[in-house]
Amino acid sequence: MQFCRFGLEGLSDYDSPRFALRHPAIDSISVSSCHNLFLPVHGKPAMPELPEVETTRIGLLKLIQGKRVAEVIVRDRRLRWPVPANLGARLRGATIETISRRGKYLLWDCENKGERGFLLSHLGMSGSLRVLRQRDECPPGKHDHIDIRLTDQSIIRYTDPRRFGAMLWIEGREPNHPLLDVLGPEPLSAEFSAQHLFRASRGRSLSIKEFVMNGHIVVGVGNIYASESLYRAGIHPGRVAGKISMARYERLVIAIRDTLNAALQAGGSSLRNYVKADGDEGYFQIDAFVYGREGKPCRACSQPIRSIVQGQRSTYYCPACQH
Ligand SMILES: [Zn+2]
């Protein structure tokens, strides 16, 4: 497999602190005065989080499930890891049977003359996937690095200005990959529970905000959702994870699920954006309680929302409602 060439050392995943250090956070960009979370600001789209990835998955499935790949055009292989040289050969003639998601990775289950394999994709910091139907086809732009052309003439186009996304190939019937092995449970699954957070946090001195953003603990709680969930749970983001009680973790689990579900619902209404030829509009708009609202009144108590930096990321919280 392609990733073997780089060894595990080069394979720090998207949730590792090393990745965060190497890749400047986008939340230094000021968020516009309205509290729409995912609106591109100054023309820069926000980083795709779990709800955007899940909505991308559902949108893609509706359009491409059961379709066959005619050819793959790779214009630039230099993503987070180089696009494998054999990707086109593996995908050509393959039927895309289904697409599943693990964390922010999409797993495209492909069948090709009895052989099976998975396209493993990640949108990184700025990636997007669109399906162009023949009638909306437009010439590729500077950041359109990969086109997967289907036999019905539609094109799945991967666009990624910052090239931190990934397109890898997993050979075989099971989607086993070192990048997936290290992932914590899905936040909307039964495996994710207060007991899990409580046990995993004992003896840990890091802040609760950094703890829930660690993909080895739970996947998909990005910077925005961490701030929003902690507000909903009434937990100060600077609290030491190892000292938080079981009762508070129970509230946090509910808050994380509610926050993600709200974003997923908002995503449903913007689904069409993922299939538009002109793209760049597919970020969800949900009402933030705290994120991007520094100095603005808390929606519950009217105290001004504060902002601090934790692990190089901006955190927003209410000093009165969260303790
Ligand atoms: Zn408040």
pLDDT value of position 52:
83
Write the CATH number of the domain with boundaries 50-181: 3.20.190.10
Per-residue pLDDT, averaged over 223-243, amounts to 96
Contacts of 38 (CB under 8 A, 6+ apart): 45, 46, 52, 283, 284, 285, 286
Q: What is the DSSP letter of 4?
A: G
Looking at the predicted structure, is the pLDDT value of residue 18 above 90? Answer: no
Q: How close is the Cα of 211 to the center of ligand 1, in Å?
A: 23
Q: Which among 45, 48, 175, 237 is annotated as catalytic?
A: 48
Give the dihedral sign, CA 21/22/23/29. positive
Encode pLDDT of 246-274 as tens digits: 999 999 999 999 999 988 887 755 444 44
pLDDT value of position 16:
61
Q: How confident is the model at residue 4 (pLDDT cuts 50, 70, 90)?
A: very low
Looking at the predicted structure, is the pLDDT value of residue 168 above 50? Answer: yes
Q: How confident is the model at residue 135 (pLDDT cuts 50, 70, 90)?
A: confident
Pair 218, 191: CB distance under 8 Å: no
Encode pLDDT of 273-294 as tens digits: 444 333 434 445 567 899 999 9
Looking at the predicted structure, is the pLDDT value of residue 24 above 50? Answer: no
pLDDT value of position 99:
97
pLDDT value of position 15:
66
Distance from C-alpha of 180 to C-alpha of 90, rounded to nearest angstrom? 21
Q: How confident is the model at residue 46 (pLDDT cuts 50, 70, 90)?
A: low
Q: How close is the Cα of 42 to the center of ligand 1, in Å?
A: 29
Secondary structure element (H or E) that encloses residue 95, with its range: strand 95-102
Q: Which among 80, 90, 104, 149 is annotated as catalytic?
A: 104
Per-residue pLDDT, averaged over 213-241, amounts to 96
Distance from C-alpha of 143 to C-alpha of 121, rounded to nearest angstrom? 16
Catalytic site residue 48? yes
Nearest residue to 39 via CA among 279, 269, 315, 281 = 281
Nearest residue to 311 via CA among 210, 203, 204, 211 = 210
CB neighbourhood size of 257 (10 A) = 15
Per-residue pLDDT, averaged over 137-163, amounts to 93
Query: What CATH topology corresponds to 13-31+184-279+287-317?
Result: Helicase, Ruva Protein; domain 3 (1.10.8)
Encode pLDDT of 54-94 as tens digits: 888 988 998 999 999 999 999 999 999 999 999 999 999 99
Domain boundaries, the chain: 13-31+184-279+287-317, 50-181
